Structure 1
Amino acid sequence: MSDKNYLNKLADWSWDQASNIAAEDAVELETEHLQVLDAARRFYDQYGFSPSMRPLCKTVAEHCGLEKGRSIYLLQLFPGSPAKLVAKYAGLPKPKNCI
C-alpha cells in the first residue's frame, strides 16, 4: 500500500480492506458507499484510470440511478473530495484531475 493508502497492486483490494481504510477516516461504509465503489471499479476496468468527479457522477448515475449520480449525494457519502475518497476506498489509483 502506498503512503496515502492508494493501492500499488489493484488485485490486493478487498471489501474488508476498504472498510478498514474508510474507518481510519471515520467513515463507516454502508451499502450506498459500496455501490459507488463498485461503480468506480467498473469505470476503472473499462477505461483504465480512476474517474474524477464529473465521470464519477455519470458512472454512478448509470449504475445506481440518476438520484445517486448527483455531486451533492456523493459529497454526503464521501465528504470533502468524493472522487479521491472513492478511489482510495475502491483500491484505485488517485484520480489525475484531483488535487
Structure 2
Amino acid sequence: MNLDLDGEGFLRNRDDWSEEVAAYLAQQDGYEFNDEMLELIKSARAMYEENGVVPPIRKFSKQVGVDSKHLYDIFKKGPMKLICKWGALPKPTGCV
C-alpha cells in the first residue's frame, strides 16, 4: 500500500483514510487489527469531527464507555497515539 506518511507513520492527508488503511497501519505496527479497534477509531474520528480536537484518554474512555485500562490492554502502549495514527487524526497533545 502506497501511503503518504510522516516520519512517525501518521497519514499526512486525512482523506486517504479507510478501514483498510487502518488495518494496514496496525499491521505495520505489529498488531492484529480487529473490530473493537475499528469501532474505537471510528468513535475518535467522530469526536474529532464534532470538536476539532483529539480527546485525552480519560475523556475518550469515559465517552465510549471503556475503561482506560482496557484501552491499554488492547493497544499496549499509548492507546490514543495509536488510535490517532491508525485513524488519520492529528497526534494527541502531550504525546511524546
Q: Judge same fold: TM > 0.5, yes or no.
A: yes
| Higher-helix-fraction structure | 1
Q: 2:14 aligns with which of 10, 28, 52?
A: 10
What is the TM-score with the length of structure 2 in the denominator?
0.88
Give the aligned residue type for 2:49. Answer: D
- The separation in 1 between residues aligned to 2:34 and 2:14, in whole angstroms, is 21
Map of 2:44 onto structure 1: 40
**1:70 lines up with 2:67 in the alignment:** yes
CA offsets, 1:14-36, max 9 Å, x none? 11111111001111111111110
What is the TM-score with the length of structure 1 in the denominator?
0.85
Which sections of structure 1, spanning at least 5 residues, go unmatched? Answer: 62-68
Map of 1:29 onto structure 2: 33
Map of 1:59 onto structure 2: 63
* CA deviation after TM superposition for structure 1 residue 2, in Å: 1.2
* CA deviation after TM superposition for structure 1 residue 5, in Å: 1.6
Computed over aligned residues only, the root mean square deviation of the Cα atoms, in angstroms, reads 1.1
* CA deviation after TM superposition for structure 1 residue 82, in Å: 0.4
- The separation in 2 between residues aligned to 1:59 and 1:78, in whole angstroms, is 18
8 Å Cα contact 1:52/1:98 also seen in 2: no
Which sections of structure 2, spanning at least 5 residues, go unmatched? Answer: none
CA offsets, 1:60-93, max 9 Å, x none? 22xxxxxxx1011101111111011110111111
Runs of 4+ with >3 A deviation: none
SS in 2 for 1:38: helix
- % identical equivalent positions: 33
- The separation in 2 between residues aligned to 1:6 and 1:92, in whole angstroms, is 8
